[in-house]
Structure 1
Amino acid sequence: MKKLFIVLLVILTVAVFAAPKHLVIFHMNDTHGHVWPYSEYHNPDIGGFARIATLVNAEKEVNPNVLFLHAGDANTGVPESDQLDAIPDFVTMHYMGVDAMALGNHEFDNPIETTLMQQRYAGFPFLSANFVTKDGRQLFKPYIIKNVGGVKVAILGVTTEQTQVLEPIHLKGGKFLNVEETVKKYLPELKKKADIIVVLGHLGFGGEYQPLGVEYTTSDQLAKDVKGIDIIIDGHSHTLMDKAANINKTIVVQSGEWGKYLGRLDLWVENGKIVDYEWAPIPINMKKYLGKDANGKAQYEFVTEPIPEDPFIKMIADYYYTLGAEELNKVIGETKILLDGERAHVRSGDTNLGHLITDAIMWKTGADVALQNGGGIRASIQPGPITYRDILTVLPFGNTTYVIEMTGADLMKVLDYAAKIPAGKGAWLHVGGMTYKIKDGKPVDVMVNGKPIDLKATYKVAANNYIAGGGDGYKMLKGLKGYDTGFVLADVVKEYIQKLGTIENYDNETRVVVEK
């Protein structure tokens, strides 16, 4: 009997030690200042870091083998965050227990010194193996190794090469090396040091088009072309995946945007190898609209159980929210109509809000023509009172207004580029003082202030300093004779709306006609 007990004990002991390790990787991406809960059309009070913290902490209570990663673009999007250089984001993420973040392109919206300051507040490493300074130095760690329950996990950070074109203003000669070549360079080293290799990438998933004058690597391309990567946790394209992609034996995941969902990747690891996995995006208080009740009140139901806010994280977030809120909440005008800044609309055609912004630029500068990239318009303005906060949400980047002297021929080079930009891209061009048609990928019937464009004439053109500095691929603007007015674009729009007073209607006639 004693021998049988010993045999059973040995069998049970072996079984316990043979059981795969269970690891959980939580991840988010493209949070863009959305520290606090917010509302969307038919989706009130969603998201918020305090709710995300509740989920992460709940798992840590039952399983210590947890990693928490951010795939980039914490910066730029919400006024309370932008006004404070995203310190609210990084302080709250510090206390939430984030282990590392890949640098996204919007981490370069500000001077490098600001990004380094943000890292100090965060207390966790910002990773980018492929960003180097003008003299070839790495300012940020390429990777870290984390021991998670005895499993060594390498986390290698990479940033989209598009940043070279998307955010060129503050790079000071810095550049982004090819992602595939960079990953291949580090893989042999990481295989010696770690069991599992995670690429934490701000790359984007899918898409064959190579816009903006620079080739870039997407996460699916990286998985297809480079063997030996176990997991790619991605950002940049704001892709909400319904299931994990498995490409060339590499797990690829991305969890949408703005903290609407928290990605959860469960791994079972045996002898240093992943033997099974599960992945899902967890909705953060997302709701289903059910219609209106008999009294006309909107009715909703939660997609999942409602998630309470972690009180400690909420306290930190609330403190930062109050800073400067009083000034942001001052009413500066009113609109009776929706001013349309929806992402899908401003990146594919004209909207009345795009017209208002370009008209405001011309009003302030006296320019003949105004140019605005659709990617710089980040939200709509709903009917009702308009506050400065609303305008900063639409135009969060802190861009100034830049005036350029251009010939008609120079302006045609801009339109030649703009005409080839496919719908859905941030480089899509909104114009003021000008109309034209796009036919077979070329601009035709170009009119400036109601007259055919004169290729030899000189025009006063105003744009935000982002595209004036070559951003979004508008390299033909960079270096032309001009000057920065110092007028912050959001302030220009604010003043213009104050001048308009109550907006009963606004020009919605198409200025850029795409002919089929």
Structure 2
Amino acid sequence: CKSLNGIDLFVDGNGDALAETVNNTLIVRADGGLKSIGAVQLHVENGKVTSTYPVVLPASDVLDPMKSAIAKAYEPFARAMGYTLMTTVPEDPAVVSLIGPSPVAKAAAPAPAPAPAPAPAPAPVAAAPAPAVAPAPVAVAKGTVVYPYGVTEIVKNADGAKEFDLFIVHTNDVHGHIEAVDGGMGYAKLATMLKMGRALTDNILYLDAGDTTHGTNLANMFEGETVGVALDMLGLDAIAPGNHDFNYGKDRLIEAAKLASEYTNIKVLSANVLDANGYLVFQPYQVYDFNGFKIAVVGLTTPDTATKTHPKNVEGLSFMSDVIVQNAQAAVDLAHTMVDYVIVLGHIGLDYDGASGVTSDLIINNVKGIDLFIDGHSHTVLPQGKKVGDSLIVSTGDFLKNVGLVQLHVKNDKVTATYPMLISAKDVLDPAASELARSYGITSIPDDPQVSEYVGYMKAQLSDKLNKVIATIPEALDGVRDNVRTKPTNLSRLITQAMTAESGADFTITNGGGIRASMKAGNVTIGDVINVLPFTNIITVCEIKGSEVYAALEHGYSMLPETNGAFSQTDLQVVYNRFGAPGKRILRVLLNGKAIDKNATYKVATNDFMAAGGDGYSMFGRVLTEGSLLSDVFMDFLSKYYPAK
């Protein structure tokens, strides 16, 4: 090194541990006989090494980390990555199989390595910035219990059977339908069926693919708490957050995940939701053990959450749309070194309706090794599942109109047969008329009394909430059916004004049929607003061309003077001839006193029903954002401009 300039690093042998600099060259050496190992960390910026850090790790620190000053110093960094250094380092089983375990290691580790303390599901520092590719686990061989991110497996059945049937129960897009309404079976019936199943076998795993905690008054008025309690009563194992589960704000969801981790067996899983510092917000996956047959359940949340809830609800979060597809293969490959079966529990969907373009079949086509994809978001009904390559996608629709069941026949830790099916709400609500129920000798499915009692109690609390006064209005607001379906009223003007103000759109077009009641002058309660806007419609912003604005209004005004639920209520100024031929009635449309440019593009606020083509409104373009319930938007507006007296 003295005689030759330009050597940056000299990794030496034949001596004791060393780190010294000679003629600008760093010389490093570890002890012989593996009494230590050396490492040199280089910090590189723009192709240049800006810092160099040599270190030597003695064998004693590896064999007894609990007494290691180095392990203690680096423990905070390890925990930030989701695992711990303060545990026995297990031997690599592949090497052990060749040479046998060392006597020293046997003495140092008389038992299998204990798992590190599991990272709490919602902790912002629960994982590394690139969670789609897991960090190297402390041990990766199947049979160990130490997994990346500090995850500890949950043993569901340990009766020792080598051949058995495993039943995966799954739901998605329940949208707060705790009760048996809108064609769904309700949680009280599902609870009874789950208890019946668990009375027969311990081989049951219940998973939910998200959009579960928001969508009805019984859910919304308690910010999803009622749904969480009910799911705990049902024995839910894991859930992947959907975009509408963020509707109460990210802090509320993160706190709910933390409480679920501390006080229930529910795991809130998502491997692609990052905070502002690039760390995972939720636990990315969970491992379940059935008689030695190990299942990894990996959670995913649609990247379109960024636009399919109000932006303020996910401020500071990102959803890794590229990484989900591009880097997920390494994670799945790693999972298969540790488990026998990989399930993706994804609120992703099969519809190409979001800005990211990420769908469940796109993921499967680009990532090999996913055995089962339990899907949500697109409300797709797949009676027998959908086979994509070697993977199976299953989805139940929405509102608990179906519950999904995937039966796996397992023999010697291998799945030898897979049977997907849906059980419909019709079969559950009227089993006497169901061929499926009769084939199992089931003639009635009663409501679970504990779930029913809880729901009844919370409905009483809901009644109190609905009576809360939120505003005082100086005049009666007209929501008479014949009026809101044929002309603007003072109520419809306020509603469209509220929608435009909340969404940041240029204007609003909504359907008069969505306005269902009038409001008296004086005090206004939450219940009064919900009577006016009873549907669980979400405020939605779409792109629309000026020419399509005319087309939308022509459609809304086409049946005049007859009443029409599709009548266009808007805060635009519309000049029309009600006696003109349908399709030729709109003469002029003004926005803030200026004519709409038919060639320009605008942002229109509407509701999700109309954005999807409801009431014949096929002219709205690409969805830009989705936000809160219309009733919540109007409540906030009235509270702000007409405060309660």
Q: TM-score, normalised by structure 2?
A: 0.54
1:82-111 deviation per Cα after TM superposition (whole angstroms, max 9, x unaligned): 111110000110121101101111122122
Corresponding position: 1:53 with 2:182: no
By how many angstroms is 1:225 displaced?
A: 2.4
Alpha carbons of structure 1 residues 172 and 384: separation in structure 2 relative to 1, 3 Å: closer
1:361 counterpart (483, 487, 495): 495
Alignment of structure 1 residues 486-505 onto 2, 5 Å: 488-491=632-635
Residue 415 (structure 2) pairs with residue 415 (structure 1):
no
Amino acid at match of 1:433: L
Is residue 358–residue 372 contact of structure 1 (8 Å, CA) maintained in 2? no
SS in 2 for 1:227: coil
Length, aligned pairs only: 406
Offset of residue 365 of structure 1: 9.5
Which AA in structure 2 matches 1:227? Answer: K
- What SS does structure 2 have at the residue aligned with 1:325? helix
Residues 209, 375 of structure 2: 8 Å contact kept: yes
Change (3 A) 1:391 1:140: farther
CA distance in 2, matches of 1:430, 1:186: 50
CA positional deviation for 1:307: 2.6
CA offset at residue 185 of structure 1?
A: 3.5
CA distance in 2 between partners of 1:118 and 1:335 (Å): 38
User: Residue 249 of structure 1 corresponds to which residue in structure 2?
Assistant: 390
How far apart, CA to CA, are the structure 2 residues paired with 1:353 and 1:88? 39
Cross-structure match for 1:136: 278
The unaligned stretches of length 5 or more in structure 1 are 1-15, 290-299, 341-350, 402-410, 424-428, 437-443, 456-460, 467-471, 478-486, 496-516
1:323 counterpart SS class = helix
Q: CA deviation at 1:59?
A: 0.8
Q: Is the 8 A contact 1:230 1:250 kept in 2?
A: yes
Aligned CA distance change for structure 1 residues 364 and 157 (closer, same or farther; 3 Å): closer
2:209 alignment counterpart: 71
Matching of residues 222-233 of structure 1 within 5 Å = 222-233=363-374
What is the distance in 2 between the residues matched to 1:75 and 1:356?
A: 33
Partner of 1:458: none
1:431 is displaced (CA, Å) by 4.4
Quote the sequence identity (%): 24
Cα separation, 2, equivalents of 1:88 and 1:396:
20
1:433 to 556, 562, 572: 572
Matched with 1:346 is: none
- Asked if the contact 2:216/2:536 (under 8 Å) is kept, the reply is no
Report the structure, 1 or 2, having the larger strand content: 1
Deviation at 1:359, TM superposition (A): 3.1
Q: Does the Cα contact within 8 Å between 2:546 and 2:596 map onto a contact in 1?
A: no
Partner residue, 2:334: 189
d(CA) in 2 for partners of 1:451, 1:72: 44
Question: Aligned pair 1:200/2:351, yes or no?
Answer: no
In structure 2, give the amino acid aligned to 1:282. Answer: I
- Aligned residue in 2 for 1:21: 164
**Which residue identity lines up with residue 21 of structure 1 in the other structure?**
F
Contact conserved, 1:100 with 1:126, CA < 8 A, in 2? yes
Instruction: Point out the more displaced range, 164-173 or 83-92.
Output: 164-173
Deviations 1:333-369 (A, max 9, x none): 99775999xxxxxxxxxx8899998633356799997
Partner residue, 1:276: 417
149 and 387 in structure 1: CA distance in 2 versus 1, 3 angstrom threshold: farther
The 2-side partners of 1:174 and 1:251 are apart by: 30
- Residue 295 of structure 2: SS of its match in structure 1? strand
Q: Closer, same or farther in 2 for the Cα pair 1:117/1:317, shift >3 Å?
A: farther
Structure 1 distance, partners of 2:488, 2:211, is 24
Mapped to 1, the partners of 2:487 and 2:238 lie a distance apart of 37
| Residues 59/334 of structure 1: CA separation in 2 closer, same or farther (3 Å cut) | farther
- The answer as to whether partners of 1:445 and 1:452 remain within 8 angstroms in 2 is no
Which residue number in structure 2 is paired with residue 162 of structure 1? 304
Is the Cα–Cα contact under 8 Å of residues 238 and 257 in structure 1 kept in the other structure?
yes
Partner of 1:36: 179
Which of the pair has the greater relative contact order for Cα pairs under 8 Å at 6+ separation? Answer: 1
- How far 1:380 moved relative to its partner? 5.7
Letter in 2 for 1:489: V
Give the whole-Å Cα distance in 1 for the aligned partners of 2:530 and 2:632.
Answer: 14
Q: Given the superposition, is the C-alpha separation of residues 387 and 286 from structure 1 closer, same or farther in structure 2, using an over 3 Å criterion?
A: farther
Paired with 2:547 and 2:318, the residues of 1 have a C-alpha distance of: 24
**Greater Rg over alpha carbons, structure:** 2
Rounded to whole Å, the distance in 2 between the matches of 1:233 and 1:354 is: 45
Equivalent residues of 1:79, 1:393 under 8 A apart: no
Aligned partner of 2:315 in structure 1 is 172
CA deviation profile, 1:289-318 (whole Å, cap 9, x unmatched): 9xxxxxxxxxx9668655311111222222
- The CA RMSD over aligned residues, in Å, is 4.8
The SS at the match of 2:345 is strand
Cα distance, 1:415 vs structure 2: 2.6
Q: CA 1:419–1:199 in structure 2 vs 1: closer, same or farther (change >3 Å)?
A: farther
Q: Do the aligned residues in 2 keep the contact of 1:25 with 1:265 (CA within 8 Å)? A: yes
Q: Find the counterpart in structure 1 of residue 250 from structure 2.
A: 112
CA–CA distance in structure 2, aligned partners of residues 76 and 217 of structure 1: 23
Quick one: distance in 1 between partners of 2:509 and 2:342?
A: 41
1:33-62: per-residue Cα shift (whole Å, max 9, x none)?
A: 111222x4xx5xx42111111111111111
